[in-house]
Structure 1
Amino acid sequence: MRGEASRIADRQSRDTLAPKLRDTREEAWRIGNELFTLTSLLDHNIQVERALTDPSRPVKDKVDVLNTLVGGQAHPMTMEIMADLVGRKWSRVSDIANAVEDFGVDAMMYYADATDQTLKVAIELAQLHSALLNLPVVRSKLYDASVSSETRVKLFRELFSSKDLNPITMRLAEHATCNLRNRRYLTTIQWLINKFSRHMGESMVTVTTASPLSDEQIKKLIAIYTKKVGRAVHINSVVDPSVLGGMRIQVGDEVTDNTVVAQLENLHRTVKAKA
């Protein structure tokens, strides 16, 4: 949890710079990638984090450190964001990396907006989350800190390159495994889904079934979950024959699994426990 100083710094910086970042439109792709690179740099260099968050150090000196790090190659908006962040007070030195990553995701969302791909990316992230729920071994490998980030990214590409995912989805999903940031892989994907949902002003409800939902079922689910969460919802229908029947419904971090395969697994565990 971020301290009060970091929460204030993050909010003020975002209030000031979000409109400017949004206005970069297609250039936001480059900015987001640069911010992800800087997030990784900060995460792996505590000395740099300390140099950029030291309250006793003049802001000009911190900006000079930034210029040395990026060598004048970064987009002007990237530098404006970083210069703003190093000029603020942080509760912990690591909180500045969190803010940089947040801006990186924001940049990707604004790029998605500019290219009319926001809903598609949100749906694909939800589908990716749903697919990995049934793949615990794969999930563990995607946040295995004992292997290199290149190995984890290679594994992700081998598994999902054939799924024809949007480039924005791929970049976000690869960032999640490339830079673990002490998080489990699905935790990061869910965080991204939540950010996109808030950005779009609606909640994503992922419904996994063995066969496609009917229009009537979708209407009923929209009515039920709009009332439940108190805001507009989008139903992301995922067809997975392996669940056999029933529904698995995910809203945010909450998963309700009433599929046949889940019931069979529960029955198996019960019988095994009593044996």
Structure 2
Amino acid sequence: MRGEASRIADRVSRDSLAPKLRATAEDAWRIGNELFSVTNVLDRNIRLERALTDPSRPVEDKVALLNKLVGDQAHEMTMEILTDLVGRRWSRVSDIANAVEDFGVDGMMYYADATDATLQVSIELAELHSALLNLPVIRSGLSSDHAPAEARIKLLYALVGNKDLNKVTMRLAEHAACNPRNRRYLSTIHWLINKFSRHMGESMVTVTTAAPLNQEQVDKLIAVYSKKLGRPVHINSNVDPTVIGGMRIEIGDEVTDNTVVAQLQQLQRRVTNGMRT
């Protein structure tokens, strides 16, 4: 949890620079990638984080250090964001890396906006989250600090397979795998889904069924969950014949599984536990 100084720094910086970042349109792709790279460097160098957040150090020295870090090849918006961040006060040295990452995700969202892909990316992230729910071994592998980044990326590619995902979805998924940042992979995907949902002004509700939903069912789900959540919702209908029947509904990290296969698994666990006792 961020301290008060970091919350203020993050909020003021984002309020000031978000409109400028949005205005970069398709350049936001490059900026987001550059900020993800800086996040990775900061996470691996506590001395650098301390140097960039030291309140006693002149801002000019910090900017000079930034120039050495990113060189003259970075987008001017990337440098403007980093310069603003090193000029602010932070509760913990690691909070500056969190802020850089947040801006990197924003860059990806604004690029998605510029290419009319925001909803597609949000849906694909929700589907990735749904797919991982029943794959604990893969989830663990994607979150492992003991495996090299290359191994985690390889595992992600094996999971995705031949799916033609938007490049923003893939870049976000790769960033989460490349640098877990002391988070579980599923938690990072959930965080990204929430950021996109807030950005779009609606919540993503993923509904998994054995057969496709008809429009009447979709409309009923929209009405029910819009009322329940108090805001607009988008229904992401996911078809998975292996659930046999019923519905699995995911809203963020909240999962309500009333599918037939889930009920059978629950029954099997009860029988097994009964035999053990």
Q: TM-score, normalised by structure 1?
A: 0.99
**Bigger shift: residues 136-145 or 42-51:** 136-145
Pairwise CA distance, 1:159: 2.3
1:101 maps to what in 2?
101
**1:34 is aligned with what amino acid?**
E
Using the alignment, how far apart are the partners of 1:108 and 1:224 within structure 2? 31
**Bigger shift: residues 150-159 or 216-225:** 150-159
Pairwise CA distance, 1:144: 1.3
2:122 maps to what in 1?
122
Matched, 1:4 2:11: no
Using the alignment, how far apart are the partners of 1:125 and 1:77 within structure 2? 27
Using the alignment, how far apart are the partners of 1:243 and 1:165 within structure 2? 24
Partner deviation per Cα, 1:50-89 (whole Å, 9 max, x = no partner): 0000000000000000000111111000000000000000
* 1:95-244 equivalent positions in 2, closer than 5 A: 95-244=95-244
Using the alignment, how far apart are the partners of 1:244 and 1:184 within structure 2? 29
Using the alignment, how far apart are the partners of 1:163 and 1:251 within structure 2? 23
Pairwise CA distance, 1:265: 0.9
Runs of 4+ in 1 over 4 A off after TM superposition: none
Pairwise CA distance, 1:100: 0.3
Using the alignment, how far apart are the partners of 1:208 and 1:85 within structure 2? 42
Using the alignment, how far apart are the partners of 2:209 and 2:38 within structure 1? 40
Partner deviation per Cα, 1:27-64 (whole Å, 9 max, x = no partner): 00000000000000000000000000000000000000
Gaps of 5+ in 1: none
**1:137 is aligned with what amino acid?**
V
Matched residue of 1:72: which SS? coil
Matched residue of 1:61: which SS? helix
Provide the aligned length of Structure 1 versus Structure 2: 275
Pairwise CA distance, 1:155: 1.5
Pairwise CA distance, 1:158: 2.3
Partner deviation per Cα, 1:186-226 (whole Å, 9 max, x = no partner): 00000000000000000000001111011111000000000
Using the alignment, how far apart are the partners of 1:11 and 1:70 within structure 2? 24
2:247 maps to what in 1?
247
Identity %: 74
* 1:30-49 equivalent positions in 2, closer than 5 A: 30-49=30-49
Matched residue of 2:207: which SS? strand
Using the alignment, how far apart are the partners of 2:201 and 2:5 within structure 1? 27
Pairwise CA distance, 1:161: 3.9
Matched residue of 1:93: which SS? coil
Using the alignment, how far apart are the partners of 1:211 and 1:142 within structure 2? 30
**2:114 is aligned with what amino acid?**
A
Matched residue of 1:163: which SS? coil
**2:93 is aligned with what amino acid?**
V
Using the alignment, how far apart are the partners of 1:159 and 1:181 within structure 2? 21
1:61 maps to what in 2?
61
Using the alignment, how far apart are the partners of 1:138 and 1:147 within structure 2? 12
Using the alignment, how far apart are the partners of 2:5 and 2:138 within structure 1? 38
**1:271 is aligned with what amino acid?**
V
* 1:250-269 equivalent positions in 2, closer than 5 A: 250-269=250-269
Gaps of 5+ in 2: none
Using the alignment, how far apart are the partners of 1:161 and 1:208 within structure 2? 20
Pairwise CA distance, 1:117: 0.3
Matched residue of 2:162: which SS? helix
